Structure 1
């Protein structure tokens, strides 16, 4: 994997991310996502991060559709009058390559033994246990597993 596709956290550890969002057309070029909820380390997303795009099945999508690189990332200011808020980010993603195989809720549903260490289980837990769209951080093994869905 090219170094330009890997972001580093403040501790210098390379991290990949996934975003589940409404993607209505096949992704090409540049995508902009505004005020996306972050969970499971998603707020660590930064420029040059490798990111896997999942088109939300709740909005007619098909699951994993592409891999890209983050070209812009900025935290969204919290609303002062709201006490509990999930951190949100604005992100811009440049597309790198479309997925060559299907991977979505249907394929991941059987992987429900939380904590078994399987990449499929991590994806099912982080992306599909709750129906909301979100940006999540990924374990190294899960990122490696997702890379197998691309040429």
Structure 2
């Protein structure tokens, strides 16, 4: 039996206190598998540049993830999830939009390209699932 790959996610959102020990984010948009996030998953936190943040700042573990019920009166809805995250480490190096912007050959397989595509092609804040290789790349910032 082969070990199962670790599931990892990135949340890009407005963050008021970068030094908090825990974070709670309510009804965050999900894309690229983000709706599958669950307690125990690894998550990387990015302070949204759209809200004055500077990019990657922490790695944590999801303590709780609760799907938000869809509104039956709205036809097209992006799935949303509320999450509580415990910070485990602070980034030792920065990584933001400017660092991945040049990686735009969408099928080149590079972690920077995956981050550019999933996080910055649409500027909205969101939770996204990432590949194991991209999680390893982000781990190198800690």
Let me know the Cα RMSD of the aligned residues.
0.9
1:119 aligns with 2:111: yes
- Number of residue pairs aligned between Structure 1 and Structure 2: 139
Tell me whether 1:106 sits opposite 2:98 in the alignment. Answer: yes
Q: 1:128-139 counterparts in 2 under 5 A?
A: 128-139=120-131
Q: Residue 66 of structure 2 is aligned with which of 74, 88, 103?
A: 74
Question: Do residues 63 (structure 1) and 55 (structure 2) align?
Answer: yes
Distance in 2 separating the partners of 1:102 and 1:68 = 16
Instruction: For structure 2, list consecutive stretches of 5 or more residues without a partner in the other structure.
Output: none
Using structure 1 for the length normalisation, give the TM-score: 0.90
For residues 23 and 67 of structure 2, the distance between their equivalents in structure 1, rounded to whole angstroms, comes to 17
Query: Normalising by structure 2, what TM-score?
Result: 0.95
1:26 correspondence with 2:18: yes
Q: 1:88 aligns with which of 80, 86, 98?
A: 80
Partner of 1:46: 38
Structure-1 separation of matches of 2:103 and 2:92:
21
CA separation in 2, counterparts of 1:58 and 1:22?
8
- The answer to whether the Cα contact below 8 Å between 1:24 and 1:61 also exists between their aligned partners in 2 is no
- Following superposition, the deviation at residue 28 of structure 1 comes to 2.2
Structure 1 unaligned segments of length 5 or more: list them. Answer: 1-11
